Amino acid sequence: MNEYDVIIVGGSFAGLATAYFTQAENLLIIEKEKEIGARQRSTCGAPVDWVRRLGAERSILRTFDTITIHSPNGRELIIDLPMPYCTIDYRTFCASVAEHLKNAEIRTGTEVTGVEAGDPGKVLCGHEAYSSGLIVDASGWRAAVASHLKHGYAHLPRRIAGLETVAEYDADSIHIYFGNKLIPGGYAWVFPLTGGLSRVGLGSLKKVNLMDLNRRFLDFLGIEHFEAEHHGGIIPCLGMRDPVVGDIFVVGDAAGQVLPGTAEGIRKAFIYAEVLGGLISRVLKGELERSRALEIYRQEVLRSKKFYDIMLTIQNIAYNAPDWVLERVIGKVKSDRSILKRLLRVYFEEDSGHANMNSLLASLKHILKR
Ligand SMILES: Cc1cc2nc3c(=O)[nH]c(=O)nc-3n(C[C@H](O)[C@H](O)[C@H](O)COP(=O)(O)OP(=O)(O)OC[C@H]3O[C@@H](n4cnc5c(N)ncnc54)[C@H](O)[C@@H]3O)c2cc1C
């Protein structure tokens, strides 16, 4: 039988979390990789609480209370995180969440190649078709389902990509490095793991050779031993897309929900997956019409659009700024901790709808003022 209550395309952060919060009995997850969690693209830094809530505590490798920002001239700004973050083992994370989806069918090694709208709609995988009234596109930045319904939906006007490797390097904080010599149009990072290893990488919106630049960054850190193999991918942090396309729900990178400026997409995927999972579960219980669920989901997500737009402006300024501007901004935030406090509050409260955007804009103006 190829009929399901819910079909989710993509078995990564957004898809698995949506399935988790839906807790539907007759749910199908379609994943093109041979196994869930087989292909890590991300640094996998996420809040500890979220990883625990999804029942994936055993995937946690290392936890952190701080992020250290490095200015182009080597000045350090240590930021206390309002919630602990961790690095996770991607494969273990996916397997752990999947274990909690007792009644879900996970079809791996299956690529979605098309979709037919309707109620129920059909998801096409080569010659196979699967039908459901509730279809979720959680297939990452290419939005494999939504793109079939809306031409140009996943088009990115600019490429913004990240790349990293695992290296012998230890640290007790997440480290972020700015500076055009090191990485033009972006930033470099160190996310520690266990056993004296770290994920070391960088991302940029400029057309640069990320592999060469990462070799230089590894040299800069004095790292001699690292894995030759790098992983990474496109980061669609260029603003939110419409989270509803036809009758399809779109979540995570597929809907452009990764935050510009910080490229934080995992926490955001979880947040919107929870909203979506809750709505789907109400449709299945007969408490809500599908059309109303689509409407509410769109409203809930687009409530944050203004914040995403502001973050996009910050990203455009920060990633194109000369070093002296980056130096001054980091120096200003370092010397006035109240600005930092305000920025962090808005950053972490914005999805609750209580964040004060005016306070954010005032802080930004203050930082950029001579
Ligand atoms: C180098 C790098 C580092 C990053 N570091 C961080 C970080 O530390 N913290 C953070 O919060 N964010 C980070 N991000 C962003 C974060 O990884 C993404 O926002 C997050 O992975 C989005 O999850 P997702 O489930 O929406 O999409 P994805 O993780 O991209 O998953 C999409 C899934 O859909 C599957 N799929 C795709 N097409 C099809 C198809 N046609 N049929 C079936 N299945 C399909 C894919 O195989 C994949 O499993 C980073 C990104 C990059 C590139």
Cα distance between residue 164 and residue 39, in whole Å: 14
Residue 235 near ligand 1, beta carbon < 6 Å: yes
Residue 130 near ligand 1, beta carbon < 6 Å: no
Best mutation site among 9, 12, 270 for ligand 1, i.e. most ligand atoms within 8 A of its Cβ?
12
Nearest by Cα to 132 from 155, 174, 104: 104
Q: What is the pLDDT of residue 273?
A: 98
Residue 9 near ligand 1, beta carbon < 6 Å: yes
Best mutation site among 61, 159, 193, 235 for ligand 1, i.e. most ligand atoms within 8 A of its Cβ?
235
Beta-bridged to residue 162, according to DSSP, are 203, 233
Q: Summarize pLDDT for 219-278 with one digit per residue, the tens.
A: 999 999 999 999 999 999 999 999 999 999 999 999 999 999 999 999 999 999 999 999
Rounded (5°) CA angle 112-117-120? 95
Residue 43 near ligand 1, beta carbon < 6 Å: yes
Residue 68: count of CB within 10 angstroms of its CB: 17
- In the predicted model, residues of the chain with pLDDT beneath 50 are none
Q: How remote is the CA of residue 153 from the centroid of ligand 1, in Å?
A: 17
Cα distance between residue 233 and residue 225, in whole Å: 23
Cα distance between residue 304 and residue 294, in whole Å: 17
Residue 37 near ligand 1, beta carbon < 6 Å: no
Q: What is the pLDDT of residue 284?
A: 97
> What residue owns the CA closest to ligand 1's atom 17?
42
Q: How remote is the CA of residue 188 from the centroid of ligand 1, in Å?
A: 19
Q: What is the pLDDT of residue 353?
A: 66
Rounded (5°) CA angle 40-160-224? 55
Q: Summarize pLDDT for 85-116 with one digit per residue, the tens.
A: 999 999 999 999 999 998 899 999 999 999 99
Beta-bridged to residue 134, according to DSSP, are 6
Q: What is the pLDDT of residue 339?
A: 85
